């Protein structure tokens, strides 16, 4: 008994000694992170520059933005030439900081949170390497707040995650705005139902990410880097950053904002599996400013000055600095997050865009496309040829359809369209697809749900199409 007591006491002291030593080592680690040679100043990075302008093919898209039920705000084109309004009263970026403090932020956080803390689920329906059968359900946050009831094809009331998983879906895409409740934002006062809450802001993303991870699904976060819809027609600089007057300072602020959102998700155990650094950035991002009559859709707008504009066709080096800032912040939070860049109309823009971006030597993982047949973006056979050709030129990249619809004409379901899109992607080894806002229909295509009063009902014709291809996609219902 005395021997056992001695052994226990000695072991206990060894444990105490080990813990004290470990704490000292950790303090040493944190104290030395300021000099981490791997965290470099973004504004002084050696970014490939191009002195020539990039030729952007003109897009002939005409549409109205009077109702979200009839028009996809992400597809609008055309920019107003109205005068820039005075933004001198705009607030400064609360995350804005010098390059040296930025290094302290990223390196010390890396030391403390270097391992990803993605929430684990005992019922995960997505595993890395699985084909992605995804949906962008950003609007469903708003439907839930309005008390909308949702019914599956079997007539049973369920939440949206249960319904999607029951038909093989395994991944969710969410958009995020910087300050959607600000003037000219998505949830600005007077903007109808979206004004009730700042949907799409950091707090709402954190709350909904818990539901996504709790459902065991994959999570893609789509950074718009705007207070409102960012799309080919406009990419409005958010109010938080409008007082910035040089591209290096703007890049630092984009780094800090991206890091802040992702680190908050990391600490909550809901880190995204993938992110978009910008939304439909065919001709760049952060390139427009609001005007006095800019509406709830961010239209019209005017061009931002050259000192801050990240328009690809005119200021490719500025574009590279902003994209590199977002990419660096993402990988600083977790190297495991998949990074993607997102444009629209792959047949028209994909080839030249990938060639131009390759000149800038941007290091990202996935090229993602909006691919709407109703918007003349092409058809699955054409997308197949495009992916096969471009994957040979860019073998390091994965391909993904970030947005599509089950209708090939406005507001009308097209039997077989979703089936053809996903089977084509599986055949060519692409990552997968995301059905954009399945409860909405309009010029871009059809909804997979039907509205009846304040309730949504899953359409049998839509979801049976997904049920019928699960075996070929090597997926299953959950």
Q: Residue by residue, what is the 3-state secondary structure of 329-355?
A: HHHHHCCCCEEEEEEECHHHHHHHHHH
Question: For residue 153, what are the CA distances in angstroms to 308, 422, 433, 435, 436?
Answer: 49, 21, 22, 18, 19
Residue 107 phi, psi dihedral angles, 5° rounding: -75, -45
SS3 107: helix
Tokens 């806002």 belong to 437
**At a CB cut-off of 8 Å and minimum separation 6, what does 435 contact?**
134, 135, 136, 404, 405, 406, 418, 448
Q: How far apart are CA 115 and CA 94, in angstroms?
A: 27
DSSP bridge partners of 218:
171
Task: Yes or no: say if 33 and 315 are a contact pair by the CB < 8 Å rule.
Answer: no
- Per-residue pLDDT in tens (0 to 9) along the chain, 478 residues: 433 333 334 444 444 344 444 444 433 333 333 333 333 334 334 333 333 455 555 543 333 333 333 344 444 333 333 332 333 333 333 333 333 333 223 333 333 223 333 344 457 999 999 999 999 999 999 999 999 999 999 999 999 999 999 999 999 999 999 999 999 999 999 998 888 899 999 999 999 999 999 999 999 999 999 999 999 999 999 999 999 999 999 999 999 999 999 999 999 999 999 999 999 999 999 999 999 999 999 999 999 999 999 999 999 999 999 999 999 999 999 999 999 999 999 999 999 999 999 999 999 999 999 999 999 999 999 999 999 999 999 999 999 999 999 999 999 999 999 999 999 999 999 999 999 999 999 999 999 999 999 999 999 999 999 999 999 999 999 9
Residues 90-121 as b/e (b if ≥16 CB within 10 A, e otherwise) read beebebbbebeebbbbbbbbbeebeeeebbee
From start to end of 166-217, where are the E strands? 171-176
Is-contact 476 216, C-beta < 8 A? no
Report the half-sphere exposure of 284 (CA within 13 A, side-chain side): 28
């Amino acid at each position: 008994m005395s021997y056992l007591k001695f052994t226990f006491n000695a072991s206990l002291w060894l444990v105490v000694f080990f813990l004290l030593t470990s704490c000292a080592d950790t303090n040493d680690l944190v104290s030395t992170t300021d000099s981490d040679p791997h965290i470099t100043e973004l504004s002084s990075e050696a970014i490939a520059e191009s002195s020539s302008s990039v030729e952007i093919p003109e897009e002939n898209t005409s549409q109205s933005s009077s109702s979200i039920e009839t028009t996809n705000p992400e597809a609008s084109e055309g920019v107003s030439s109205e005068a820039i309004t005075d933004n001198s009263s705009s607030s400064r970026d609360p995350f804005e900081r010098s390059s040296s403090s930025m290094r302290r932020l990223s390196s010390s956080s890396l030391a403390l949170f270097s391992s990803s803390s993605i929430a684990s689920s005992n019922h995960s329906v997505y595993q890395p390497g699985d084909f992605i059968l995804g949906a962008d359900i950003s609007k469903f946050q708003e439907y839930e707040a309005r008390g909308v009831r949702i019914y599956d094809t079997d007539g049973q009331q369920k939440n949206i995650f249960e319904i999607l998983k029951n038909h093989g879906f395994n991944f969710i895409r969410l958009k995020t705005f910087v300050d959607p409740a600000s003037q000219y934002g998505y949830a600005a006062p007077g903007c109808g139902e979206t004004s009730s809450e700042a949907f799409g802001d950091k707090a709402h993303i954190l709350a909904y990410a818990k539901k996504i991870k709790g459902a065991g699904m994959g999570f893609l976060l789509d950074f718009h880097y705007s207070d409102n819809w960012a799309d080919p027609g406009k990419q409005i600089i958010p109010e938080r950053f409008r007082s910035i007057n040089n591209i290096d300072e703007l890049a630092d602020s984009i780094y800090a904002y991206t890091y802040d959102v992702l680190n908050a998700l990391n600490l909550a155990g809901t880190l995204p599996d993938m992110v978009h650094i910008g939304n439909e950035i065919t001709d760049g991002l952060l390139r427009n400013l609001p005007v006095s009559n800019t509406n709830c859709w961010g239209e019209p707008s005017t061009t931002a000055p050259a000192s801050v504009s990240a328009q690809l066709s005119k200021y490719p080096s500025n574009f590279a600095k902003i994209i590199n800032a977002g990419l660096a912040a993402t990988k600083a939070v977790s190297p495991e997050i998949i990074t993607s860049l997102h444009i629209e109309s792959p047949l028209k823009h994909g080839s030249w865009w990938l060639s131009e971006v390759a000149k800038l030597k941007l290091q990202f993982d996935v090229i993602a496309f909006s691919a709407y047949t109703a918007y003349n973006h092409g058809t699955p056979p054409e997308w197949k040829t495009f992916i096969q050709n471009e994957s040979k030129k860019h073998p390091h990249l994965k391909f993904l359809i970030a947005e599509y619809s089950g209708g090939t004409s406005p507001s009308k379901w097209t039997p077989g369209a979703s089936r053809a899109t996903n089977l084509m992607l599986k055949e060519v080894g692409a990552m997968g697809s995301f059905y954009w806002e399945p409860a909405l229909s309009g010029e871009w295509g059809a909804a997979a749900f039907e509205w009846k009063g304040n309730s949504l009902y899953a359409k049998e014709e839509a979801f049976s199409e997904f049920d019928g291809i699960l075996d070929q996609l090597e997926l299953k219902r959950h």
